[in-house]
Structure 1
């Protein structure tokens, strides 16, 4: 029953719908009391020969009319009640998606995709079912049950009513115990379903790797183990669930036995007519549904309560990075980075130390260094995926934590190491950030990214569907389409995080040449392992273990001893060897 108090905010807001449905349920309950009463009158009238055929047909007509009215009213309350519960589903899923979009990478380090999908679908469905069917069964069982009890006690025999209800308190206690047990077991079952969802999602997204390594049997065994665990936990829920109906039917059977035994004795004593006993038994039959509904209500509400606790646990989680209030002034500004020290959440080792730089509009910054040097970390901090513990980053001399996150990120265009394409057309993927862009603007961005000719060679050109995650495109094509998507935004700051790794040297040179023209007056930050991508940078930072070990322009760094000089010479030698092999016709790679 906790769920009803937890959702009270929604019930109060939608009180008109719920009150209308409750009112109609009460009217229906009252109307359903008439047929047993009329049957008792007809039986007594027939037994004592006091009713004419016309009167009997009249009472039968009344019962048919009641049935038609009940049918129509049930249709209306379903529209009111279930319409309200479905609206709750829409709002919960909107809140869920909004919360997902507000969260930062730190959140996704702790929550897996399959678990989040399970909460947004299965758990929300359980809550909505409880907000619809749960309210229905609660009101219907209480109204119908109370109305039947009042009629049986006042119109027939209160002594027989008390006798027939003796099994009910015991039944209520047993059902309450079942409900508490169901709540705990269902919560564990939902967690197991999340794990199953995680495994299915990971297997589907990595199916190419699984097949290339021949891991199908191994993955199938792991999935089967998780599926068995989920099945066992659901079976434990089913074992508790299966106890509700037998408990109800035993209680109903005992009530009927007591009613018939006690009623027969009253008829024998002349304190009750046969018609009254028939009506009483029919009324008692009407009590079967309220008792079953009560048990069912406990069942679905406890499931909904367990699901709601999982949803609330997620919705209440505040973003690791809080939004600011200030808006940036118009125009391009200077990006200032002054990081004394930064730690990832839960880590004692600093990921970055003593990073200082100023980037003016029109300048290009290059970032390089061995894997794990801190390049992507620095780019994440510029995008404000994390907050800095010691130091700050400013734009227009305003610290990033003081800025509204959406306002700051609207000034950025980012291409990550691993490009992501949606299952849509090439044009729609390029126009992701500007859905109203014209075809001419889309094609211009594609030309700047040196992917226009590749797109024209696709079956339907710009209208070609790229498949899930761009499955039908090569790695280089996906990277260049992602670059075109970023260029179309015309943002003040362009960030390329190793975004040219999958393109050949000639295409890389062409893209960089285009960027120099496009980037006049804009700030460009390029992180790269291939140093040829940094030759035109205004300044290059060489990073190792989160610290800047060298800095300067390309010409300066190639003359100094150190990592940059050694890596540049190695890459030049590798490129020369590749050219030799190609000239000799030796296949490479």
Structure 2
């Protein structure tokens, strides 16, 4: 628990008065809980001595009711205060996780599987919340109750009898400690198994059409069953350790009862304690069952919380390995320069881009072409700085891009990747990512530039049409055009299109290109494409092969070079005819 308290010390300091009130309420509640047992003992002694009167009985009953009501009220108070804090802590870490996911670049996501991140952001945070809620409740309550009960037993009845009755406690503590260390290890394995299972579910959902197309449903089910079985086995191991606490606690309590009866009988015979004291003492021992059980649960919950906190911190501390953002604010992009630029993906020895030397002046439209695997996507990703540079020079206005704040730099960009990311919301809400709370006329104008306004108007709910998970209700061409419309709506200095017109027909492609040429005249556009018709009017076209620029020039200049571009152009012209 020390590790958890240290990590959450900021929260406990911020709400110190809440927890102080909770602890005071807990002390009063524990003290009030001792009174009924003592009153029962007194009542028995008065009955045995024959001195019980109606007046005395009434006094005892009133005190009994007051003690019960006080116990209830103060118990409710401190329980509420502690569990409110538990949910607030979960909210804090959920926000931290989401901020982490949104600010980290691609290098971070190479270190974790999606299902693992989902588990850590949900199950592990929930476990941490349970530790700070029920765990804190159980730990403090069990300690407070045991302390008050033992003190009451020792002071009001007999300290010798208390020591004898509690002899099994050290043995119980040793066993609990041993089981707790095992739970930490097994629960970490259990959470990893759940992460793997979640990842399998996400992959199957994403790739369900591919699985069906290849007739691999049975294989996918078998793989899922295997991972599910592994998770179940691991969870059973944790459950076995958890369930071991109750029998052990029960055995310890039976031993305490037996020792208390035997030695208590001796003390009664010697006249050291009265019969009523003996009855009260046995009630007190019975009352220790709950805090002892809680102690066992504390060990379980704390070890699980510790394991979950480690997994959460691992994500929060994981770096995307990007350079520290600079301090300069980028107001406008006048030019972008690659100087002797080389790039390899993290963890790979293969060079994805090699000896790139290129200057792009503001207002130019640049076409990037090349055969499959030539490095087009890798090249265009360099503009959004997803991976760290290792001495490579990418300059903005003559300064290294790392000299500028990432926010001011990325605000100049509108990026449409090959994998079109749409959210399970309406068309309107997906467009709002380009410009928050844009008017309907602005939304339709952007859709018109993407040649999709008429298509949206034909839908029953138009802008409020839900696109489904990842745009499942839209065709490939509609997804692309909606993504392009979102980029148009952003109206940035630089537009990056990564083969963003591959799923539209030639007529629609020509319409969108004309809109780009007209509406974005004087702004920078960088377009990668397999179709040369998409970029033939560009100010400059570069041809990539094996990550290197093997040719460059205008459409006419590249045709005159009679190289790959010329051959590809003739082939596509013939296919078009």
> Same fold per TM (> 0.5)?
yes
How many angstroms apart in 1 are the aligned matches of 2:280 and 2:485? 79
| Larger CA deviation: 415-424 vs 481-490 | 415-424
Q: Could you report, residue by residue, the CA deviation over 1:399-421 in whole angstroms, capped at 9, with x for unpaired residues?
A: 21111112111100011111111
* CA-based RMSD: 1.3
CA contact 2:364–2:523 (8 Å) conserved in 1: yes
Q: Which residue of 1 aligns with 2:270?
A: 269
Q: Distance in 2 between matches of 1:398 and 1:519?
A: 25
| Cα distance between partner residues in 1 of 2:38 and 2:72 | 19
Mapping 1:156-555, distance limit 5 Å: 156-555=157-556
1:390 Cα shift? 3.3
CA distance in 2, matches of 1:575, 1:423: 36
Distance 1:164 1:228 in 2: 45
d(CA) in 2 for partners of 1:284 and 1:33? 11
Q: 1:550: Cα distance to partner?
A: 0.4
State yes or no: 1:13 paired with 2:25.
no
Q: For residues 466 and 227 of structure 2, what CA distance do their matches in structure 1 show?
A: 35
Counterpart-to-counterpart distance in 1, 2:390 and 2:286: 69
Contact 1:18 1:84 in 2 (8 A): no
Which runs of 5 or more residues in structure 1 are unaligned?
577-589
| Preserved CA contact (<8 Å) 1:365 1:540 | yes
Note the alpha carbon deviations across 1:466-522, whole angstroms, 9 max, x for none.
Answer: 111111111011101100000001100000000000011111111100100111121
Classify the secondary structure of the residue corresponding to 1:366: strand
Q: How far did residue 330 of structure 1 move?
A: 3.0
Cα pair 1:381 1:387 within 8 Å, conserved: no
CA contact (8 A) 2:245 2:296 kept: yes
The 8 Å contact of residues 323 and 405 in structure 1, kept in 2 or not, is answered as no
State the Cα distance separating 1:265 from its structure 2 match: 1.7
Contact 2:260 2:282 in 1 (8 A): yes
CA distance in 1, matches of 2:418, 2:535: 16
What secondary structure, in the 3-state scheme, does the structure 1 residue paired with 2:445 have?
helix
TM-score by length of 2: 0.98
Decide whether the 8 Å contact of 2:330 with 2:408 is kept in 1: no
Residue 31 to residue 480, structure 1, CA distance change in 2 (3 Å): same
The count of corresponding residues between Structure 1 and Structure 2 is 576
Does the CA contact (< 8 Å) of 1:85 and 1:132 recur in 2? yes
Cα drift, residue 146 of structure 1: 1.0
Deviation at 1:332? 4.3
- Residues 348-379 of structure 1 show CA distances to partners (whole Å, capped at 9, x for unaligned) of 22211111222222210000101111111111
- The Cα offsets for residues 525-572 of structure 1, whole Å up to 9 and x where unpaired, read as 000011111111100110001100000001111121211111111111
Contact persistence 1:30–1:147 (CA under 8 A): yes
Corresponding residue of 2:127: 126
Do 2:197 and 2:224's aligned partners in 1 also have CA atoms closer than 8 Å? yes
Partners of 1:339 and 1:293 lie apart in 2 by 65
Q: Quote the Cα distance in structure 2 between the aligned partners of 1:8 and 1:212.
A: 53
Please give the secondary structure, in 1, of the residue aligned with 2:392. strand
How far did residue 54 of structure 1 move? 2.0
- Greater alpha carbon shift after TM alignment, 393-402 vs 237-246: 393-402
Provide structure 2 residue ranges, at least 5 long, that are not aligned to the other structure: none
Residue 459 of structure 1: CA displacement?
1.8
Q: Is contact 2:326–2:404 with CA below 8 Å preserved after alignment?
A: yes
Report if aligned partners of 1:429, 1:485 keep a CA contact under 8 Å in 2. yes
